[in-house]
Every structure is written in structure tokens, then in C-alpha cells.
Amino acid sequence: MSALAPTSPDTVAASASGRTTSLRALGLLAALGVLVVVAFLSIGVGARTIPLAETWSLVFDPDGSQNAIVVHELRIPRTVLGLLVGVALGLAGGLMQALTRNPLADPGILGVNAGAAVAIVVGISIFGHVAPAAQVWFAFLGAGAATVVVYGVASRGRSGATPVRLALAGIALTYALYAVVQGLTTLQPQVFDEYRFWVVGSLAGHEASLSGQIAPFVVAGALLALALARPLNALALGDDVSRALGAHTGRTRILGAFAVMLLCGAATAAAGPIVFVGLTVPHVARAICGPDQRWVLPYSMVLAPILLLGADVIGRIVTRPGELQVSIVTALIGAPVFIAIVRRRRIAQL
């Protein structure tokens, strides 16, 4: 009787790695299924009560009725905008935490939100009124300019744009820009009247064409972010080790900052500053799949729109026929979830 051949350690490791990859892939597919359900609820739930069966029928076969108009001209564009903004915020949050190696980093740490806010306030101050479609471009330009300034300041010196220098430069610029916003809105009440509708953060009240305006930036930023997954894994080992492995740390940070500018700039320009999505979702993703950015970023881009659209649906239900703005609901949901993650386990090191 022959003895069984021993199993080599390499075979065991490969088998375990394969099982882990399969579980991660199944989890991502499950998250995509949840996203489809939440997106359908976003189309089906609102101030006007439409049975879900009728909503499903009207999505594919509009009959020209009032319900069909509500579904196709209001709810579907709003849901598409929520999907784009959620993807952008989730990826931007994952990128920021990886670039700065700071688990408390938020997309706004590069001054993106503050830059967008200043651009809108200045635009209103100069032109008296800025249409919502034009606000997007003002906000995007301001967000981009803030990102460039932060990276330029952080890059000065021999050490270059290290995570600490990026964070400090972003925080300093954010406080300076918000001081400008407060000054202009205090001195000009008419500017504050327009600015307050943008700064509250909402998916409601936007034109259907807005999604088409921001979609190219979100797609470009998402592709760039996903392409940086492997370099970000090397960056997590520290600058010296990553350079020894052949990684280009400076190029990775420049491209990462550019991706954050595209993603967070587009999301903030379209829906205003929405908090806790970019901070909380990457932590949930890492709790599910571990620290590998090849999985953290895809999970983040799926989980974030689930949170955002789910919060938007809750905001329509709790004060019906009125509406609670999505940024308020994400804060109410995201803050307890984040606190629970911190209390249950040590924040994952990046």
C-alpha cells in the first residue's frame, strides 16, 4: 500500500490564495446585486407613490403618463447622478487614504471641497447669478486649482510630496479658502442665498444633462484610480521599500492626486460637499477584502453608491412628502458606522 504524497507548502498557499480570491469576487458580485436593488428603489420611491411593479414596467416601456414622466425625467436622472457621484466619492476616498497612508483621510483633504466652494462664491459675486449648469464648471475649476496648489506646495523641498506634507498643505489651504468663503458670504447676503443651496449637498433639483457633464471626468478618474492599484500596494510599504521594488513613488502620487481631482472635483461640483462617504466606505471595503488595493478600490466604487443612493431613498421617506438632503442622511448613517468600526477593531494600517 503506497503512502500518500505530502502536500507541498506552495500548493497549500496557492489553494488558500485561490479560495480568498473567489470569496472576494463573490462578495463583489453580491455588492453589485445590492447596488442594482438600491438603484431600483431609488427609481421607485419618492414623494409621488408609484407601485414598484408599475415602476419596473415604466422603466422599459414609458407610456407618456404622469408616472412615466416622473420616472424618466426626475427619478432616473437622479439615480444616475447618484451612481456617478457615489463611484467618484468611494474611489476618491480609497485613493486619498492610500496616498497619504492615513486611514482618517477624506477626499476633501486636498482642498477640493474648499476650492469648489470658493470658485462658486467668487462666480456668484462677480456675475450676480450663476446657473446650476455653470456652477459645475466653476466648482470643477476651483477644485482642480486647489489640488494643483496643494501638490505644488507639498512638493517643494528635497523630500517631495510626502503623505504628511500633502495632508498639512491640504488642511492649511482648506482653512484659508473657507475663510474667503465666509468673508464673501457674510458681506454679500445675496451670494449666501445662492451658495447655501449648493453647499447643503443634494442629488435633487439638478438637470438631467448634469450626469452627462460629469460622466467623462468620473470615468477617466475611475480608470486611472484602478490602474494605480498595484503601485499603491507598493506605496503602502513605505517610500524606501517601494523604490527598492522599482515603484515610482513620485509618479504614483502625481497621478493619484490627479485622479482625486477628477473624481472628487466632479462629485463635489455636481452634488455639493457630501460628507462621510469617502471616509467610511474604504474602511468597510478593507474590513471585507483586506488591504489589497486591487480589491479595496473596486469594492469602494460599488459600496459608495449603495450608501449614497440608500441615504437618498431614506431621506425621501422619513419626511415625505418633503425631503431630507442626502448629505444630512449620509452623516447620520456614516458617523455611527465609522465609530463602530473604530471601536470594534483597530483601524487598518495602510
Mean pLDDT value across residues 234-241: 75
CATH class of 31-344: mainly alpha
At residue 12, the pLDDT reads 53
Considering 77-86, 245-254, 338-347, the range whose residues carry the highest mean pLDDT is 77-86
Q: For residue 26, what pLDDT band results from cuts at 50, 70 and 90? A: very high
Q: Which residue has the higher pLDDT, 349 or 175?
A: 175
Q: Does residue 313 sit in helix, strand or coil? A: helix
pLDDT in tens, 65-91: 888 888 888 899 999 999 999 999 999
CB-neighbour burial class of residue 60 (10 A; exposed 0-12, middle 13-18, buried 19+): exposed
Q: By C-alpha distance, which of 207, 271, 276, 289 is closest to 27?
A: 289
The DSSP code for 350 is -
Max mean pLDDT among 29-38, 69-78, 230-239, 243-252 falls in: 29-38
- 293 burial (CB, 10 Å; 0-12 / 13-18 / 19+) is buried
Q: For the chain, what are the domain ranges? A: 31-344
Average pLDDT, rounded, for the chain = 83
pLDDT surpasses 70 at 322: yes
Report the distance separating Cα 97 and Cα 283, nearest Å.
10
- Among 118, 113, 119, 115, smallest CA distance to 93 is for 113
Of 79-93, 120-134, 270-284, 303-317, minimum mean pLDDT range: 120-134
Give the residue with greater pLDDT, 132 vs 10.
132
* Residue 144 and residue 261 in contact, taking contact as beta carbons nearer than 8 Å: yes
What's the alpha-carbon Rg for the chain, to the nearest Å?
22
What is the structure's pLDDT at 33?
96
Distances (CA, A) of 125 to 28, 129, 181: 46, 8, 11
Q: How confident is the model at residue 349 (pLDDT cuts 50, 70, 90)?
A: very low
Q: How many CB atoms lie within 10 A of CB 62?
A: 14
Percentage of residues of the chain with pLDDT beyond 70: 87
Q: Closest Cα partner for 278 from 107, 152, 156, 157?
A: 107
Inter-helix orientation angle 189-199/163-187, to 10°:
130
Which pLDDT score is estimated for 239? Answer: 67
In angstroms, the CA 100 to CA 95 distance is: 8
Give the separation between CA 177 and CA 199, rounded to whole angstroms. Answer: 14
In eight-state DSSP terms, residue 322 is S
Torsion angle of alpha carbons 244, 245, 250, 256, nearest 10°? -150
Q: Which residues contact 180 (CB under 8 A, 6 or more apart)?
A: 118, 121
Residue with cell 459675486: 125
Q: What is the pLDDT of residues 32-49, one digit of tens each?
A: 999 999 999 999 888 788
Q: What is the pLDDT of residues 130-153, one digit of tens each?
A: 776 777 788 888 888 888 888 788
